Amino acid sequence: MRSDRQTSGPRGWQGRSPESWGAELGVPLLELHDELPSTSDRLRELAQRGTPAFTVVVADTQSKGRGRMGREWHSPPGSGLWMSVLVRDVPERFSGILPLAVGVAVARALERMTADSVALKWPNDILIGDRKVAGILCETVGEPGEGVIVGIGVNLRPPEGGLPPELAPGVAFLEGVSGLPVAEPAVARLLLGELGRWVRPVPERLEGRLLAEWEARDCLRGRLVILDGGASGTARGLRADGALVVTLADGREVDVRAGGVRLAGVGRSPALHGAIAPRYGTGGE
């Protein structure tokens, strides 16, 4: 029987049970935690025990939140929506497209909460005004094709005591840009609604409406970028398989399928939170 009892729960989710919130969000199972090492690790445990698609795990803070490429994801209490969502049945050949589709979904959801434009930086950083407002980490689970854990971190408001100074310049907070208080469940509802639309089923190729949605927000196209190996060139957009096309300084065209790129002229820092300036993602490159 569903219970509407008062629960403590993470910030923004108090007053109702996880079952009640889960029903409102239209997901089969929702776990709400005050603290976890990582919502994606918890969801992996559930996935391995057979939990259904669109099971969602949320935590108020993560002690071992992680970002792409093994970087740390700074997840202080009360400052963001730290959420993982299970997507099942993801054929391996589509796995390069899924993070891009999730990026479109997150960008569209956040646009509903701010008048500012939301940009996408390949492969899946979400930016407002050249600062990172959200990041996405997709990790496979189980046998090939079985499923993907989609971890989404959205920066909502500065943590108590502020951000470490080396992170602050590159981070945007949704409340900061919208100028209005933002409730965690409202952000989750928009995110899950858009995810349902863009990843059910998982798209096979970046084409049609999905490509148009990406291109409308692509902040790299035409800009000078530096690849992980140090080479630089001009970003030209994306291929149907999700690769970033870059024309190198010597005129050669390369398809970038792994890692990331950064904008030339934007410095590096040991930032944890991930940002376009001073850096993208979390941790070192």
The residue (of 39 and 51) whose beta carbon lies closer to ligand BTN is: 39
The full DSSP string for 241-273 is TSPEEEEETTS-EEEE-SS-EEETTPPP---SS
User: Could you tell me the smallest distance in angstroms from the CB atom of residue 258 to ligand BTN?
Assistant: 14
Task: Tell me the residue nearest to ligand BTN as measured from the CB.
Answer: 135
**Alpha-carbon distance values, 37 to 27, 63, 82, 139 (Å):** 23, 5, 11, 16
The residue (of 73 and 198) whose beta carbon lies closer to ligand BTN is: 73
The residue (of 22 and 151) whose beta carbon lies closer to ligand BTN is: 151
The residue (of 100 and 152) whose beta carbon lies closer to ligand BTN is: 152
For 45, counting Cβ atoms within 10 Å of its Cβ (0-12 exposed, 13-18 middle, 19+ buried), the class is exposed
Is residue 171 within 8 Å of 131, Cβ to Cβ? Answer: yes
User: Could you tell me the smallest distance in angstroms from the CB atom of residue 260 to ligand BTN?
Assistant: 9
**Alpha-carbon distance values, 30 to 74, 95, 185, 263, 271 (Å):** 23, 24, 12, 38, 31
Please count the helices (runs of H) and the strands (runs of E) in the chain: 6, 12
Q: Residue 216 contacts by C-beta under 8 Å, 6 or more apart in sequence? A: none
User: Could you tell me the smallest distance in angstroms from the CB atom of residue 74 to ligand BTN?
Assistant: 9
The residue (of 51 and 84) whose beta carbon lies closer to ligand BTN is: 84
Residues that bind ligand BTN (CB under 6 A): 38-40, 62, 65-68, 71, 73, 82-84, 125, 135-137, 151-153, 274, 281-282
User: Could you tell me the smallest distance in angstroms from the CB atom of residue 67 to ligand BTN?
Assistant: 2
User: Could you tell me the smallest distance in angstroms from the CB atom of residue 169 to ligand BTN?
Assistant: 16
